[in-house]
Amino acid sequence: MNRKSPILFETNAHGVALVTLNRPSVHNAMDPELLENLSAVLTDVAEDDGVRAVILTGAGDAVFSAGADIRYLHNATPLQVRELARLAVRVTLQLENLGKPSLAALNGHALGGGLEIAEACMLRVAAEGAQLGHPEVRIGAVAGFGGTTRLARLVGKGRAAEMLLTGRAIDADEALRIGLVNAVVPRAALIDEAGALVDAVLARYPTAVRLTWEALHRGLNLPLEESAALGADYFGLVATTAEFRQGTRGFLDRRVQREAVH
């Protein structure tokens, strides 16, 4: 894609795709064009066996994404606003159901819809000094890209209610304390640190990673007994793979070696 595209895409030698929200002049705000392009990229990623994982970040040094494009919202009809939100929800569902590891590298402020996109990723790493929040109520709006659903699943209902109802932004360190992000790193090291975390996931058996994520993600929407049963079913399913046999054999061989030493 050329530099004027609202989405930039590149893949490194390890098969990790870097997807960049590329509207820096408006703080990477999301309009229909950006979201449609992001959806198309995610479709390609899901279908490309050469892409093993995705890191999502923003262009520039200060903002991951300021959320929905306010100018677009102000001029849109209510139907257009709803369609924008439904498009964004489609994108977040694509991220959650990608079948491959996804990580949001928050290079700066992640607000409103920008944070909602990040919430749909498996993991999140924030640069020092980043601010995260849901300011929608401050402009008479609702977190309609999935924030009212996902934030509580990440940080709990009480903390989510405070953020969503007051519109208060929190800094990266507080986001780490409440579990909204997995790590806070120096801005200059963000992509390297994000890549290291992705590599740690990719070092594990891919089928086990995929089914673990599905059990976690789907299980949160099920009653406790059904969620536990789903995990048991996936445990049985992964046992049908050559990866499982290789992994268990490797464990037994290492144990035999340790016992022989002692």
Please give the positions annotated as active site.
116, 136
* Residues 138/56/32/76 CA torsion (nearest 10 deg): 0
CA 70 to CA 76: how far, in whole Å? 10
Residue pair 51/11 in contact by the 8 Å Cβ criterion? yes
Query: Which residue from 60, 64, 100, 57 is spatially nearest to 198, judged by alpha carbons?
Result: 100
Sign of torsion over alpha carbons 22, 121, 36, 134:
negative
Query: Which residue from 58, 54, 57 is spatially nearest to 99, judged by alpha carbons?
Result: 54
